[in-house]
């Protein structure tokens, strides 16, 4: 499974887990977390799982914001 597909799955999972956050915020959090982790990673095997866990922790502590739909 390629990295982009893995990240899309993480985004889908966290969007469902945090419905009170805007999906764009979830995606940005996932991509930023992944980039930060990738910088220091010596092995990429579990990078998607680590990204999901750390992005989830970040979203847990982030003030919920959802865009208003007309």
Alpha-carbon gap, residue 56 to 47, rounded angstroms: 14
| Total-model pTM | 0.85
Residue 36 has pLDDT above 60, yes or no: yes
pLDDT digits (tens, 9 = 90+) for 38-61: 999 888 889 999 999 999 999 999
Residues 5/34, Cβ–Cβ less than 8 Å: no
Is the backbone of residue 56 left (phi > 0), alpha (psi -120 to 50) or beta?
A: alpha
User: What local confidence, expressed as pLDDT, does residue 44 receive?
Assistant: 83
pLDDT digits (tens, 9 = 90+) for 4-29: 899 999 999 999 999 999 999 999 99
Indicate the DSSP class of residue 67.
P
């Amino acid at each position: 499974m390629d990295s982009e597909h893995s990240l899309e799955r993480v985004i889908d999972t966290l969007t469902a887990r945090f419905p009170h956050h805007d999906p764009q915020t979830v995606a940005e959090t996932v991509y930023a977390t992944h980039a930060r982790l990738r910088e220091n990673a010596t092995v990429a095997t579990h990078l998607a799982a680590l990204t999901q866990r750390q992005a989830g922790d970040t979203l847990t502590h982030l003030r919920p914001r959802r865009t208003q739909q007309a």
